[in-house]
Amino acid sequence: MLRSLPGDQRAAGTLGHVNDALTLLAVHAHPDDEAIGTGGVLARAAAEGIRTVVVTCTNGELGDAPGGIKPGEAGHDEAAVVSIRREELEEACTRLGVAHLEMLGYHDSGMADWSYKDGPGVFSQVPVGEAAARLSELFERYRPDVVVTYEEDAAYDHPDHVQTARVTLAALRATPIPSKFYLVAMSMKHWGRVRDALEAQGIPLPFPEPSPEWMQRLADTQERITTTVDVGPFVDRKRGAVLAHASQMDQAFFTKMPADMFNLAFGEEHFIRAHDTTASPLPEDDLFAGLR
């Protein structure tokens, strides 16, 4: 489904290409991931006149219902959750300046330790080639210069994130269109600074002590980070987009951070460059280095 968002002057029809400007295309698993993972670079690119496209693979059926009701609990209505999350996604994309929103419409698979992920019809069970073919069609339509998604073996192993990574990589292997391809990365060094700043202000972290395995995966990711983008001037837009997902984020720890702490935590976004045809030197601070 194509949705050209308010303010876009380059709306595409259901047929044909949209190729009159540099284009950033971000492929995400659920409504809200676009704001959390890439809200800064999307807002920055939009402000710089770069066309921005968000592809969301699932409808987010297994998110919280109003009141924090979880899947499987009385009062959790998947159809109602989908409707709410769709409205929130559109609002978040508008706040970020995203020009085009595409939803593939797959069913949410739920968390790694939930049984939903094994059920027929959920996104994690869809053949990779089938979903990749649909994503390839969007590459043909939008002709993205830069594509961003997740790393398959990242520390966050949500089934839909893993599937999104696999599907995007398969689509990329089928086309020469994108000049650059990036994986969203969590910087252990950066979050160490954030943790220290929070502790200095007496703000306790609500997270359990991470396992040695998880810390090793973060350390491995840290070594592979190639690109750090300063999104400080756009962090308010990112926060606004995150807050637009109120049904999922209302009680989240980082939405309750003091503004200065949120700015510190989310004023940078980090990536691993996985494909490049520009020979732009590394490290870099711009996803479009070598293209402009």
SS3 (DSSP) at 238: helix
Residue 189 lies in a domain: yes
CATH assignment at residue 36:
3.40.50.10320
159 backbone φψ class: left, alpha, beta (φ>0; ψ -120 to 50): alpha
Whole domain around residue 167: which residue ranges?
A: 2-276
Neighbours of 228 (CB within 10 A): 17
Check residue 69 and give its pLDDT.
94
Residue 226 lies in a domain: yes
* Beta strand spans in the chain (E): 2-4, 23-28, 51-58, 100-106, 146-149, 180-185, 227-230, 268-276
pTM of the predicted structure, to 2 decimals: 0.91
What ranges in 143-277 are assigned the alpha helix state H?
Answer: 159-173, 188-200, 212-224, 235-244, 246-249, 259-266
Check residue 3 and give its pLDDT.
58
Check residue 127 and give its pLDDT.
97
DSSP state of 208: P
Neighbours of 275 (CB within 10 A): 15
Sheet holding 51-58, edge to edge: 2-4, 100-106, 51-58, 23-28, 146-149, 180-185, 268-276, 227-230
Q: Give me the tens of pLDDT residue by residue for the chain, a chain 292 residues long.
A: 445 554 443 333 333 455 568 999 999 999 999 999 999 999 999 999 999 999 999 999 999 999 899 999 999 999 999 999 999 999 999 999 999 999 999 999 988 888 888 888 999 999 999 999 999 999 999 999 999 999 988 767 899 999 999 999 999 999 999 999 999 998 888 888 888 888 888 887 777 777 888 788 888 999 999 999 999 999 999 999 999 999 999 878 888 888 888 888 889 999 999 999 999 999 999 999 999 9
Check residue 265 and give its pLDDT.
85
Check residue 64 and give its pLDDT.
94
Residue 221 lies in a domain: yes
Residue 283 lies in a domain: no
Going by their DSSP bridges, the two strands 23-28 and 146-149 should be labelled as parallel
DSSP state of 173: H
Q: How many domains are there within the chain?
A: 1
Check residue 18 and give its pLDDT.
52
Radius of gyration of the chain (CA): 18
SS3 (DSSP) at 283: coil
* β-pair partners for 242: none
Residue 159 lies in a domain: yes
Residue 287 lies in a domain: no
Q: Which of 20, 107, 14, 3 is nearest to 55 (CA)?
A: 3
Residue 291 lies in a domain: no
Please return the burial class of 205, using the count of CB atoms within 10 Å of its CB with bins 0-12, 13-18 and 19+.
exposed
- Helices 128-142 and 159-173, axial angle in degrees (round to 10): 60
Residue 170 lies in a domain: yes
Q: What single letter denotes the amino acid at residue 140?
A: E
